[in-house]
Amino acid sequence: MSIIKTLIVEDEELLASSLEQTLAQIEPSVQVVAKLESVVSTVSWLKKNTVDLIFLDIQLSDGLSFDIFEQVNVETPVIFLTSYNHYAVRAFKLNSIDYLLKPLNTEELKNALNKYKKQALKSFDIQEFSRVIGALKDKTAEYKKRFVVYVGDKIKYLDAENIAYFFIIEGESFMRGFDGNTYSCDYSLDKLQPELDPAIFFRVNRQYIINIKAIKQMFTVSKSTIKLDLTPVPDGDVFVSLSRNSEFKKWLDQ
Protein backbone atom coordinates (compact mmCIF):
# COMPACT_ATOMS: atom_id res chain seq x y z
CA MET A 1 0.00 0.00 0.00
CA SER A 2 1.58 3.28 -1.11
CA ILE A 3 1.76 6.08 1.41
CA ILE A 4 -0.33 9.21 0.76
CA LYS A 5 1.71 12.06 2.21
CA THR A 6 -0.83 14.57 3.44
CA LEU A 7 -0.79 18.17 4.67
CA ILE A 8 -3.55 19.56 6.91
CA VAL A 9 -3.99 23.33 6.92
CA GLU A 10 -6.55 24.24 9.59
CA ASP A 11 -6.41 26.99 12.24
CA GLU A 12 -8.67 25.15 14.68
CA GLU A 13 -6.25 22.86 16.53
CA LEU A 14 -8.90 20.46 17.83
CA LEU A 15 -10.43 20.03 14.39
CA ALA A 16 -7.00 19.45 12.80
CA SER A 17 -6.18 16.79 15.39
CA SER A 18 -9.59 15.17 15.01
CA LEU A 19 -9.18 15.05 11.24
CA GLU A 20 -5.76 13.44 11.59
CA GLN A 21 -7.14 10.77 13.94
CA THR A 22 -10.12 10.04 11.69
CA LEU A 23 -7.88 9.72 8.65
CA ALA A 24 -5.71 7.21 10.51
CA GLN A 25 -8.79 5.14 11.29
CA ILE A 26 -10.42 5.09 7.86
CA GLU A 27 -7.36 5.21 5.58
CA PRO A 28 -4.11 3.77 7.02
CA SER A 29 -2.20 4.77 3.89
CA VAL A 30 -2.64 8.46 4.75
CA GLN A 31 0.40 9.88 6.52
CA VAL A 32 -0.06 13.41 7.87
CA VAL A 33 3.38 14.98 7.52
CA ALA A 34 2.47 18.46 8.80
CA LYS A 35 -0.35 20.48 10.33
CA LEU A 36 -0.30 24.23 9.66
CA GLU A 37 -2.68 27.04 10.62
CA SER A 38 -2.03 30.10 8.46
CA VAL A 39 -1.49 31.37 4.93
CA VAL A 40 2.02 32.57 5.78
CA SER A 41 3.21 29.30 7.34
CA THR A 42 1.67 27.24 4.52
CA VAL A 43 3.33 29.27 1.77
CA SER A 44 6.68 28.96 3.54
CA TRP A 45 6.25 25.20 4.02
CA LEU A 46 5.13 24.49 0.45
CA LYS A 47 8.10 26.33 -0.99
CA LYS A 48 10.32 23.68 0.60
CA ASN A 49 8.12 20.57 0.71
CA THR A 50 5.73 18.53 -1.40
CA VAL A 51 2.85 16.22 -0.52
CA ASP A 52 0.34 14.05 -2.32
CA LEU A 53 -2.80 15.58 -0.85
CA ILE A 54 -3.79 18.75 1.01
CA PHE A 55 -6.74 19.29 3.35
CA LEU A 56 -7.21 23.05 3.31
CA ASP A 57 -9.48 25.24 5.43
CA ILE A 58 -10.80 28.10 3.30
CA GLN A 59 -10.80 30.69 6.11
CA LEU A 60 -7.49 30.76 8.00
CA SER A 61 -6.36 32.93 10.90
CA ASP A 62 -4.60 35.40 8.58
CA GLY A 63 -6.88 35.38 5.55
CA LEU A 64 -8.43 33.24 2.82
CA SER A 65 -6.45 30.16 1.84
CA PHE A 66 -6.83 31.10 -1.83
CA ASP A 67 -4.03 33.61 -1.21
CA ILE A 68 -1.66 30.64 -0.94
CA PHE A 69 -2.04 29.86 -4.63
CA GLU A 70 -1.02 33.39 -5.59
CA GLN A 71 2.30 33.01 -3.76
CA VAL A 72 3.37 29.44 -4.46
CA ASN A 73 2.78 27.03 -7.34
CA VAL A 74 0.60 24.18 -6.04
CA GLU A 75 0.02 21.14 -8.23
CA THR A 76 -1.31 18.97 -5.42
CA PRO A 77 -4.93 17.74 -5.17
CA VAL A 78 -6.84 19.74 -2.59
CA ILE A 79 -9.84 18.92 -0.40
CA PHE A 80 -11.28 22.14 0.97
CA LEU A 81 -12.74 22.45 4.47
CA THR A 82 -15.29 25.11 5.32
CA SER A 83 -17.94 26.05 7.87
CA TYR A 84 -19.79 28.25 5.40
CA ASN A 85 -22.38 26.86 3.03
CA HIS A 86 -21.86 29.52 0.41
CA TYR A 87 -18.34 28.17 -0.13
CA ALA A 88 -19.60 24.62 -0.56
CA VAL A 89 -20.58 24.73 -4.21
CA ARG A 90 -21.05 21.16 -5.37
CA ALA A 91 -20.53 22.17 -8.99
CA PHE A 92 -16.86 22.72 -8.18
CA LYS A 93 -16.19 19.09 -7.32
CA LEU A 94 -13.93 18.79 -10.33
CA ASN A 95 -10.70 16.91 -10.94
CA SER A 96 -8.87 16.56 -7.61
CA ILE A 97 -10.90 19.18 -5.81
CA ASP A 98 -13.57 18.44 -3.22
CA TYR A 99 -15.37 20.08 -0.30
CA LEU A 100 -16.09 18.98 3.23
CA LEU A 101 -18.43 20.99 5.43
CA LYS A 102 -17.65 21.34 9.11
CA PRO A 103 -18.36 19.53 11.35
CA LEU A 104 -16.72 16.83 9.26
CA ASN A 105 -18.73 13.77 8.36
CA THR A 106 -16.84 10.45 8.27
CA GLU A 107 -18.72 9.11 5.25
CA GLU A 108 -18.12 12.27 3.25
CA LEU A 109 -14.45 12.11 4.23
CA LYS A 110 -14.29 8.52 2.93
CA ASN A 111 -15.94 9.59 -0.32
CA ALA A 112 -13.49 12.46 -0.74
CA LEU A 113 -10.55 10.10 -0.24
CA ASN A 114 -11.98 7.62 -2.73
CA LYS A 115 -12.39 10.43 -5.23
CA TYR A 116 -8.79 11.46 -4.63
CA LYS A 117 -7.48 7.93 -5.22
CA LYS A 118 -9.39 7.67 -8.51
CA GLN A 119 -8.30 11.11 -9.68
CA ALA A 120 -4.70 10.56 -8.58
CA LEU A 121 -4.42 7.99 -11.38
CA LYS A 122 -4.90 10.84 -13.85
CA SER A 123 -2.55 13.70 -14.60
CA PHE A 124 -3.26 16.81 -12.54
CA ASP A 125 -4.74 19.59 -14.67
CA ILE A 126 -3.21 22.80 -13.27
CA GLN A 127 -5.13 24.99 -15.73
CA GLU A 128 -8.45 23.52 -14.62
CA PHE A 129 -7.36 23.90 -11.01
CA SER A 130 -6.58 27.60 -11.58
CA ARG A 131 -9.96 28.12 -13.23
CA VAL A 132 -11.78 26.59 -10.29
CA ILE A 133 -9.78 28.62 -7.78
CA GLY A 134 -10.70 31.79 -9.66
CA ALA A 135 -14.36 30.84 -9.61
CA LEU A 136 -14.17 30.01 -5.92
CA LYS A 137 -12.64 33.39 -5.15
CA ASP A 138 -15.60 34.99 -6.88
CA LYS A 139 -17.90 32.97 -4.62
CA THR A 140 -16.25 34.43 -1.53
CA ALA A 141 -17.77 37.77 -2.49
CA GLU A 142 -21.08 36.37 -1.25
CA TYR A 143 -20.77 37.94 2.19
CA LYS A 144 -22.56 36.66 5.25
CA LYS A 145 -26.13 37.95 5.27
CA ARG A 146 -27.49 36.85 8.66
CA PHE A 147 -26.58 35.39 12.02
CA VAL A 148 -28.38 32.93 14.27
CA VAL A 149 -28.91 34.37 17.77
CA TYR A 150 -30.35 32.94 20.96
CA VAL A 151 -32.78 34.78 23.22
CA GLY A 152 -33.48 32.60 26.25
CA ASP A 153 -34.80 29.34 24.86
CA LYS A 154 -35.76 30.95 21.55
CA ILE A 155 -33.74 30.96 18.34
CA LYS A 156 -34.00 33.73 15.80
CA TYR A 157 -31.88 35.33 13.12
CA LEU A 158 -30.43 38.80 12.78
CA ASP A 159 -29.72 40.32 9.38
CA ALA A 160 -26.13 41.49 9.08
CA GLU A 161 -27.23 44.96 8.01
CA ASN A 162 -29.12 45.30 11.32
CA ILE A 163 -25.98 44.74 13.39
CA ALA A 164 -24.40 47.98 14.56
CA TYR A 165 -21.09 46.48 15.61
CA PHE A 166 -19.24 43.36 16.70
CA PHE A 167 -16.98 43.60 19.72
CA ILE A 168 -14.86 41.64 22.18
CA ILE A 169 -15.11 41.57 25.97
CA GLU A 170 -12.59 39.46 27.89
CA GLY A 171 -11.87 37.35 24.85
CA GLU A 172 -15.55 36.64 24.04
CA SER A 173 -17.23 37.92 20.86
CA PHE A 174 -20.56 39.75 20.88
CA MET A 175 -22.75 41.69 18.45
CA ARG A 176 -25.06 44.59 19.18
CA GLY A 177 -28.06 45.25 17.00
CA PHE A 178 -29.45 48.66 16.14
CA ASP A 179 -32.31 47.68 18.42
CA GLY A 180 -29.86 47.97 21.32
CA ASN A 181 -29.84 44.26 22.16
CA THR A 182 -26.57 42.41 22.64
CA TYR A 183 -26.06 38.84 21.49
CA SER A 184 -23.30 36.31 21.85
CA CYS A 185 -21.35 35.66 18.65
CA ASP A 186 -19.87 32.30 17.70
CA TYR A 187 -17.13 33.83 15.53
CA SER A 188 -13.91 35.58 16.45
CA LEU A 189 -13.39 39.02 14.88
CA ASP A 190 -10.55 37.55 12.80
CA LYS A 191 -12.98 35.03 11.35
CA LEU A 192 -15.75 37.59 10.92
CA GLN A 193 -13.80 40.27 9.11
CA PRO A 194 -13.55 38.59 5.67
CA GLU A 195 -17.13 37.32 6.00
CA LEU A 196 -18.65 40.81 6.21
CA ASP A 197 -19.33 43.18 3.34
CA PRO A 198 -16.41 45.66 3.40
CA ALA A 199 -18.64 48.38 1.96
CA ILE A 200 -20.69 48.24 5.17
CA PHE A 201 -18.36 46.97 7.90
CA PHE A 202 -14.89 48.08 8.96
CA ARG A 203 -12.59 46.82 11.68
CA VAL A 204 -11.51 49.98 13.46
CA ASN A 205 -9.32 48.24 16.05
CA ARG A 206 -8.71 44.84 17.64
CA GLN A 207 -11.92 45.05 19.69
CA TYR A 208 -14.50 46.46 17.23
CA ILE A 209 -15.90 45.88 13.75
CA ILE A 210 -18.46 48.59 13.05
CA ASN A 211 -21.31 49.14 10.63
CA ILE A 212 -20.97 52.50 8.86
CA LYS A 213 -24.57 53.32 9.84
CA ALA A 214 -23.59 53.01 13.51
CA ILE A 215 -21.35 56.10 13.28
CA LYS A 216 -23.16 59.01 14.87
CA GLN A 217 -20.21 61.41 15.11
CA MET A 218 -16.43 61.37 14.72
CA PHE A 219 -13.93 63.47 16.65
CA THR A 220 -10.27 64.20 16.10
CA VAL A 221 -8.74 63.72 19.53
CA SER A 222 -5.22 64.35 18.30
CA LYS A 223 -3.46 64.58 14.96
CA SER A 224 -3.51 60.81 14.59
CA THR A 225 -6.43 59.69 16.79
CA ILE A 226 -10.09 59.47 15.81
CA LYS A 227 -12.80 58.84 18.41
CA LEU A 228 -16.12 57.39 17.27
CA ASP A 229 -19.50 58.18 18.75
CA LEU A 230 -21.57 55.09 17.95
CA THR A 231 -25.22 54.21 18.20
CA PRO A 232 -26.28 52.24 20.14
CA VAL A 233 -23.87 53.56 22.75
CA PRO A 234 -21.04 51.04 23.34
CA ASP A 235 -19.76 49.99 26.75
CA GLY A 236 -16.62 52.12 26.43
CA ASP A 237 -14.84 54.62 24.19
CA VAL A 238 -14.10 53.45 20.66
CA PHE A 239 -11.07 54.77 18.78
CA VAL A 240 -9.75 54.04 15.32
CA SER A 241 -6.35 52.44 15.82
CA LEU A 242 -3.39 54.40 14.51
CA SER A 243 -2.49 51.69 12.00
CA ARG A 244 -6.02 51.79 10.53
CA ASN A 245 -6.47 55.57 10.27
CA SER A 246 -5.57 55.94 6.62
CA GLU A 247 -7.59 52.91 5.52
CA PHE A 248 -10.53 54.06 7.63
CA LYS A 249 -10.63 57.43 5.88
CA LYS A 250 -10.52 55.72 2.48
CA TRP A 251 -13.38 53.46 3.58
CA LEU A 252 -15.47 56.50 4.53
CA ASP A 253 -14.72 58.20 1.22
CA GLN A 254 -15.85 55.42 -1.13
Indicate the pLDDT class of residue 162, thresholds 50, 70 and 90: very high
pLDDT tens digit sequence for 27-81: 999 999 999 999 999 999 999 999 999 999 887 877 778 788 888 888 788 888 8
pLDDT tens digit sequence for 116-147: 888 766 655 556 566 666 666 555 556 888 89
pLDDT tens digit sequence for 84-122: 555 444 334 433 467 787 778 889 899 889 888 887 666
The CATH number given to 146-252 is: 2.40.50.40
Q: Where are the domains of the chain?
A: 4-139, 146-252
CATH of 4-139 given 3.30.365.10, 3.90.76.10, 3.40.50.2300, 3.40.50.150: 3.40.50.2300
Comparing 4-139 with 146-252, is the CATH topology the same? no
Q: Please name which of 134, 14, 153 lies closest in space to residue 69, comparing C-alpha atoms.
A: 134
